[in-house]
Amino acid sequence: MLRNLTGSTRLLGIAGDPVAQVLAPPIWTTLFQRNGMDAVCVPMHVQPEDLTAFLKGAGVIRNLDGLIVTVPYKPIVASLIDKPTERASLAGSVNVMRWEQDGSTCGDVLDGVGFVNGLAARGQDVKGKRALVVGCGGVGSAMAFALAAAGIDSVSVADTEPARALKLAARLTAKGFNANVAPAVAAHFDLIATGTPMGMKEDDPLPLDCTWLRPGTIVCEAVMHPVETPLLKLAAAAGCFVQPGTYLLDYQLQLMAQFFGFDVEIELPQAQHYAV
C-alpha cells in the first residue's frame, strides 16, 4: 500500500489514543492511489499529555494537509481550534482540522452529518422521530445536533457522566431543539444512536438497557470495528433496523475530501471493506 513514496508525498494524519482500530489509513491511502495522488494517510498515536505539543509541531509540517481527529480528542481539539465551523462549535467537537496559510487552524465535525446521511441513503427519514443518543462526548454530541438539524421530534441524551448529558441537553435546548436528559434505556424511542466506544471489546457491556427494545426501532452505532457489535446483533435479532458505524464514516468521506481540498472520486461503500 505504501509503494511509490517520494520526496513530494503529501500526508494526511489521523490522531488519537488509541489508533490501532482506525480505518482511515487504508481507506484514504487507497483512494489517493486510485486517484493518482502522491499521498498517504498515517496513524499518529498521541498520548494526552503530548497533544498540545503535537498539534503545535504538526502545524509546521509543510506536506501535512491536515488531521482527522479520533477518540478521545474531538472535544479537546475543538477547544483549541482558532476557527471552528458553526456545527463544530455547537457540538463542541472536531474530527477534521487543517492549517490555513496564516498558520491559524480550522476545524469541522462531520460525524453527525455522515451518520444522518448514511440513514437517508438507506431510506430512513429521521423527521418526526423520538431519538435517544447514548454518550455525550464528541461523536455523540455531533449525532445529537445532526439529528436535531434533520428534523427529529425530540432528542433525549444519556451519559455515564450526568453532568455531561445535562450540558449537551442545555446546548440543544438553547438552539431551540426539543431535548432532555434520560436514562440509557431503550424504551419509547423510534431511533437509538450510541456514540460510545462500548462494543469495541468482546467483554464490553451493552451501552444501554435493551430490555424494552421494540421491533422496528432504528439502532445505530458509532463503533466501526467490529462492524457487528453485540448491541447490533441483539437489535437485529429483535427485528430492528440496524446501522453500523461504517456508514457514519462512508457518508462523510466526500465532505472530508472537500474540507481538505482533495480532488478524489469516492465510490461507496469503503469502510466495511476494511472493518474486519
Q: What would the 3-class secondary structure string for the chain be?
A: CCCCCCCCCEEEEEEECCCCCCCHHHHHHHHHHHCCCCEEEEEEECCHHHHHHHHHHHCCCCCEEEEEECCCCHHHHHHHCCEECHHHHHHCCCCEEEECCCCCEEEECCHHHHHHHHHHHCCCCCCCCEEEEECCCHHHHHHHHHHHHCCCCEEEEECCCHHHHHHHHHHHHHCCCCEEECCCECCCCCEEEECCCCCCCCCCCCCCECCCCCCCCEEEECCCCCCCCHHHHHHHHCCCEEECHHHHHHCCHHHHHHHHCCCCCCCCCCHHHCCC
Q: Which of 56, 74, 83, 129 is catalytic?
A: 74
* Inter-residue contact 107 to 84 (CB < 8 Å): yes
CB of 83 within 8 A of CB of 107?
A: yes
What cell numbers appear for 109 in the block?
A: 465535525
Would you call 56 a catalytic residue per the annotation? no
Which grid cell sits at 57?
A: 509541531
Catalytic residues: 74
